[in-house]
Amino acid sequence: MIKVEGLTKRYARTIAVDNISFAVEKGQIVGFLGPNGAGKTTTMRVLTCFLPPSAGKVTVAGFDVLESPMEVKKRIGYLPETPPLYPEMEVVEYLDFVGRLKGIEARNLRRRIGEVMERCAVADVQNKIISKLSKGYRQRVGLAQAILHNPDVLILDEPTSGLDPQQIIHTRELIHSLAGDHTIILSTHILSEVEHSCERVIIISSGRLVAIDSVDNLTNRLRGSEAVAVELDSADGRPNPGEVQQRLEQIAGVSRVLMKDSKNGRLLFEVESLQGRQIRPDLARTVVNSGWSLNEMRSVGLSLEDIFLQLTASEQRDEQRKQQREKEVVKVGADQ
Ligand SMILES: Nc1ncnc2c1ncn2[C@@H]1O[C@H](COP(=O)(O)OP(=O)(O)O)[C@@H](O)[C@H]1O
Ligand SMILES: [Mg+2]
């Protein structure tokens, strides 16, 4: 249903999306996961014909976003990060306006508006002014406008962000109920969100594709990795940070060692394990055998960022390459 091949999107100075490829089959719910600035919104804007790609090919139901934008738009419903609402309009008035814009025939429009208002649970506020609605209701009005022309594909940009827990549950249920009829891509920067809502997940970070997998496979891959915070006393200037870093990195099962802080005679490190490896006993042993004094050792949760790094061992190398390329782009820009 959706095919993205080698998509790149450059802004003046940044490469927001860097040569990513993926495909989404009909009827799937796919989560587009990545931290802020990863390139999710940019990709979605290209898919919905709001932005032209800098390179690569994107098709929706076989239609190219550059060659046949009208055909693509007919088949796509889009809920941007901020729903495109007119705050001074009543809900039903707004949906009528959107319906005309989308070219829905007048004789079908009223019935269709009734249907989507039921479906999105906004019928009870149909004559309310949009600016007076709660954020949850506004988001559902946004969804109602996205599905109004009954598109095959729904593109939802962070549909649950900023909602309270009750509203999040409501919105998730609504998205699920839409899944049978539509192919859905939803973006989020929250890992648990894809676990709740999606069958497959596409992970991007710094504009690059990090993983495409089923949610089950992904959580299995990540399960068992842990991060341990280790604090050492270095009041007399010993041990020195470089030495500690090096020794900790040599422990079997350690995937990464980060120095977090070195203040007031304390050294704080965060040590991550490979999947399924118990590193605490060896960590403790190494510290003690080295004659260092251990202030504290405790578990810390792996953040989304950490998970990206786990999934891409070559991340840092790639980042350097990307920065190099950005410099080249700027240079080429300046030459022109
Ligand atoms: N209109 C723009 N002009 C220049 N840079 C932009 C623009 N929109 C986004 N960016 C940059 O592109 C990158 C990706 O942004 P975005 O697609 O919004 O990421 P996400 O939605 O994952 O948070 C970021 O570095 C962001 O600063
Ligand atoms: Mg975004």
Whether 79 and 157 map to the same domain: the answer is yes
Give yes or no for a contact between 136 and 167, defined as CB atoms under 8 angstroms apart: yes
Q: Which of 168, 188, 221 is the last residue of a domain?
A: 221
The reported pLDDT for the residue numbered 131 is 95
Cα(121)–Cα(174) distance, integer angstroms = 9
Whether 42 and 142 map to the same domain: the answer is yes
- Nearest protein Cα to ligand 1, atom 8: 42
- Nearest protein Cα to ligand 1, atom 12: 16
Whether 203 and 249 map to the same domain: the answer is no
Tell me if 319 is assigned to some domain.
no
Mean pLDDT calculated for residue range 64-81: 95
Q: Which of 221, 255, 271 is the last residue of a domain?
A: 221
Cα(334)–Cα(242) distance, integer angstroms = 40
> CATH number, domain at 249?
3.30.70.3190
Whether 199 and 242 map to the same domain: the answer is no
Q: What total of structural domains would you count in the chain?
A: 2
The reported pLDDT for the residue numbered 67 is 96
Classify 44 as helix, strand or coil: helix
Mean pLDDT calculated for residue range 224-237: 84
Q: Which of 221, 252, 270 is the last residue of a domain?
A: 221
Q: Is the CB of 86 under 6 A from ligand 1?
A: no
Task: State in Å: Cα 43 to ligand 2 middle.
Answer: 9
Cβ contacts of 123 within 8 Å, gap of 6 or more:
114, 117
- Nearest protein Cα to ligand 1, atom 4: 11
Whether 41 and 188 map to the same domain: the answer is yes
Whether 45 and 152 map to the same domain: the answer is yes
Task: State in Å: Cα 42 to ligand 1 middle.
Answer: 6
DSSP label at residue 129: B
Whether 183 and 58 map to the same domain: the answer is yes
Nearest ligand 1 atom to alpha carbon 42:
17
What DSSP string runs through 47-99?
Answer: HTTSS--SEEEEEETTEETTT-HHHHHHHEEEE-SS----TTSBHHHHHHHHH
The residue range of the domain holding 284 is 226-301
Nearest ligand 1 atom to alpha carbon 45:
17
- pLDDT tens per residue across span 138-176: 999 999 999 999 999 999 999 998 888 888 888 888 888
Q: Which residue has the higher pLDDT, 36 or 237?
A: 36
- pLDDT tens per residue across span 238-268: 898 999 999 999 999 898 899 988 888 899 9
Q: For residue 315, what pLDDT band results from cuts at 50, 70 and 90?
A: very low
Task: State in Å: Cα 17 to ligand 1 middle.
Answer: 9
Q: Which of 113-127, 216-230, 270-284, 322-336 has the lowest mean pLDDT?
A: 322-336
Where do the DSSP E strands lie in the chain?
2-10, 15-24, 29-33, 55-60, 63-64, 76-79, 153-157, 183-188, 200-205, 208-214, 227-233, 254-263, 266-273, 293-300
Whether 248 and 217 map to the same domain: the answer is no
Q: Is the CB of 44 under 6 A from ligand 1?
A: no
Whether 215 and 254 map to the same domain: the answer is no
